[in-house]
Amino acid sequence: MKERTFRQDHLLGIEHLSVDDIETILETAEAFIEVSSRDVKKVPALKGKTVVNLFFENSTRTRSSFEIAAKRLSADLINFNSSVSSLKKGETLKDTVLTLEAMNPHIIVIRHSASGSPHYLTTFARSSIVNAGDGFHEHPTQALLDALTIQQRLRTLRGLKIAIVGDILHSRVALSNILLHQKLGNEIALVGPPSLVPAEFEKLGATVYYDIRRGVRNADVVMMLRVQAERGARNYFPSIREYRNLFAINREIFSLASRRAILMHPGPINRDVEIETSMADSDESVILQQVTNGIAVRMAVLYLLKGEIHETLN
C-alpha cells in the first residue's frame, strides 16, 4: 500500500480534498475491496474506536453502508435514529452532539437536511466529522464511490466526459461529482431544464445542456439523478410525464454515448421515471456495483481518518 499522505481531520466535502487525497482514498478503498470478498470480512483497523451514525434524514443505503464499513473495520458503532431521539423533545443539534461526545466517540457520521451542518459540527465537536449528505450541498462518499466504480469499469479516471442528468440544483450527489471531476480535469455535461440547472454551474467548469441528446453524446459516464415529485409540485417542471419525455434515459438516447459508456444512479431509482426499467437492468448499468463499492470507500474514509498508522491490511 502507498504511504499514507491523508492529512484531513474531517471529510466535509470534495471541495476540501486535493487530487492526492482523492487518489489516496480510492487506493485505500481498492485494498479494502479484498476484505469484503473474504469469508471473514473483518480487519482490526478500527478496533476500540467508536463510530456514531447520526442520521437526521431517512436513509437506508448510506446508513447501512457506513454501518457495515465500520463493523468490517472492527469499530464499535451506534446508530442515532432521529425519530427516537431527543430532537423530538426540542433538543438542538449542538446539545445532541455535545451529549454524544460526552461518551467519547472517535468519528461522527452525519446526514442532515440543512446544508453546512457537518461544517457547523466542526466548530465545537472534538470527533472527526464525516459528511454523509448535507442538504443540497455535498455527499462526498457518494462521489468517491462513483469514482471508484468508474475506475473499475473504464480503467481510468482521466480524459472522460461525465454527463449528469436531472435535478442538479437540489442534488448533493451532483455537486460532489462536479467538484470531483473538475479536480480531475474531466469534461462535465449537466443536463436538465433551466429551472433545475442554473447556468452559473458553468463557473464550476461544467457545460449546461437542455437537450439530453446533446449532453449524453460521446459521454463515457451517464449519471442519472433521482427526480423528486415534490419538485414538480413546486413547478420546477410541469409534470413527471413531461419530465420523463424530456430527460429519462432510454436505449435510444444511451446509444449516443461512447461505446464503452456506463450508466450510473445513486439510488434509489424511480423505474420508468428518470430511467427506463430495462436500462436499469442492462449490462451498462453499474448501479449495484456502486452500492458494493460504497462499503470499500467508506471503510477507506473511516480508516484514513482514525486508523492506526502502523496497521496494515494484511
Partner 1 sequence: MRLLIKGGRLVDPAAGIDRVMDILVENGKVKEVAAAIKKAVNCPTLDAKGLAVAPGFIDMHVHLREPGQENKESIASGARAAVHGGFTSVACMANTEPVNDNRSVTEYIIARARQVGLVNIFPVASVSRGLLGENLVEMADLVEGGAVAFSDDGQCVMKADLIRKALEYAKMLDVPIIEHPEDHSISAEGQVNEGFISYKYGLRGMLKAAEEVIVARDLILQERIQSRLHLTHISTAGSVELIRNARRMKTPVSADATPHHLLLNEELVQNYNPVYKVKPPLRTEADRLELIRGLQDGTIDCIASDHAPHTRDDKDKEFEYAPFGVIGMETSFPVIHDRLVRAKLLTLNRLVELFSTNPARVLGLKDRGRVKAGYPADLTLLDLKKRFKIEEKDFRSKANNCPFLGWEGQGAIAYTIVSGNIVYSYKNR
Applying CB under 8 A, the residues found at the interface with partner 1 are 92-94, 112-117, 119-120, 134-138, 169, 172, 175, 198, 200-201, 203-204
Q: Cβ 62 to partner 1, closest distance in Å?
A: 17
- Could you give the 3-state DSSP secondary structure of residue 195? coil
Closer to partner 1 by Cβ: residue 120 or 247: 120
CB of 263 to partner 1, least distance (A): 25
Closest to partner 1 by CB, 118 vs 294, is 118
Q: Helix, strand or coil for residue 272?
A: coil
Evaluate the omega torsion of the peptide bond into residue 268 and state whether it is cis, within 30 degrees of 0.
Answer: yes
Residue (118 or 307) nearer to partner 1, CB = 118
CB of 70 to partner 1, least distance (A): 25
Task: Quote the least distance from Cβ 120 to partner 1, whole Å.
Answer: 6
- Estimate the crossing angle of helix 19-37 against helix 140-154, to 10 degrees: 70
Query: What minimum distance in Å lies between the beta carbon of 126 and partner 1?
Result: 17
Strand order across the beta sheet in which 107-112 lies: 76-81, 50-55, 107-112, 128-134
Distances in Å between the Cα of 50 and the Cα atoms of 73, 106, 175 are 11, 5, 30
The least distance separating partner 1 from the CB of residue 19, rounded to whole angstroms, comes to 19
Which CB, 95 or 311, lies closer to partner 1? Answer: 95
- Cell numbers placing 18: 486535493
CB 210 within 8 A of CB 191: yes
Question: DSSP letters along 71-122, please?
Answer: HHTT-EEEEEEGGGSGGGGT--HHHHHHHHHTT--SEEEEEESSTTHHHHHH
Cβ proximity to partner 1, 2 vs 88, nearer residue: 88
- 61 vs 119, which CB is nearer to partner 1? 119
C-alpha torsion 189→194→196→200, nearest 10: 70
